[in-house]
Structure 1
């Protein structure tokens, strides 16, 4: 009996997929050749959540998959209640797999009397005994430091970049593509994304506290270029809207959008549908009933499944980054 078989015998892997994004949880389970554990989640008439895990988890390594998406607080509370149940049921280890981590934009204190809610979320999660957190494209990498346990921070950028290469939208070393950051703080993300195509970057010089519908100045040259506006998430669509108008006003030929998390809150679908865009390329970290036109959703199921598999079998997560960096041209 080898080490893996012994581990499987002593501490079997169990997967729980909660209500945040059931479709993705099922896809991750399928990629791992496992079934999701049956969990009965019911809501009392006053909104209280009750959870019942219908089979034993004693001595098991349990992976709880929950996208903390809208309704954010309900999905977070569901996660916390399940984590408490797992601790009381004597699970051997508990790993939280969070395709989308809500509150991660509130990661710094910029004004007086302002909370750092991303840190509060980390504290709350660690009130129950969890061993590891697997996250995907956190709003800021330093959020990992809010946890006193390992945080395996995976990235969807290579998946998005591969799509653009596979579909002939960009060519490696082509000088016809410019990657655009919708603001100054996203310049590093744009630079990382641009490195997959050896593409230059440009920045929308947004002035003012909030994004408005005005056209803003461009730092960099986008004239007669194919532009990819890259961001970590699309919320109301206002930032993408103003950036699209800015790059088109600066002479861009075609505009694409790439982002990991499609929150699509308020009237984002209407805002995005009105834009002169070719495609909006996102991942399936968040599930909605309705999506904008021209949206392409790429699955992160195999990436998260690989993360779970590597943690379970004590392999280095760094291998995933190495594999992703060997992007196929």
Structure 2
């Protein structure tokens, strides 16, 4: 046949036509060789539609992946860096009277808050509970009762009372001049603790409830956590939580879904940021609502 080449390699006879090699029996006739070539052609022809279909399916899958990645990029976006206020390294919220309440996260931040940020004219809060943070109500001297109550409430909730579900835990407030910066002579105080002198002013905190919400901060939005009444006034949307329920990470995922449903942008409410704002221990979502600051 035109363009065909017969050869023998390693004791086997083959015919090569148009780049394809077909093995034929030694001594077979031309007709037998042609028949073998025809059979091979039928096999190749039968396989061609399946190969073409698979190629088409792969092209469709590739286009789908490209479209999906484009949609995700448009949805996720890139969160622009913003300048954070000094208080955002601590626990913080804004009271219904517009005062800034700032609390320690651990023993180190308790020390930093009291030593570096407590000033004359502030009010200092603490609770007689293991793991209680110090909270400082900035400009809190003579503050309205609502701000005092909300800051005491946060102090109790962010103590170990939350993890232990110890409802009815209260707190107290004192003036900055009553907070000693060193242990009395001959006494030892754990890291992050400070001696309190003089009269303590108790404030009841009958319930353990907090709210995680999206608030304005530094010309942008941030996630923070505080008493529900205060958060309703300052947040665009919020989830109210109570002790018990799911581990912190699982509850943070639920809160993120709720806040996005209420209008928060996905890039504003990262799961890690939500978990960082929450109290330690298990929590459950009681309800999720729009706040008074909703645009």
Q: Which category of TM-score, normalised to the shorter sequence, fits these structures?
A: under 0.3
Structure showing greater radius of gyration is: 2
| Structure 1 or 2: more helix by fraction | 2
> What TM-score does the superposition give when structure 2 sets the normalisation length?
0.24
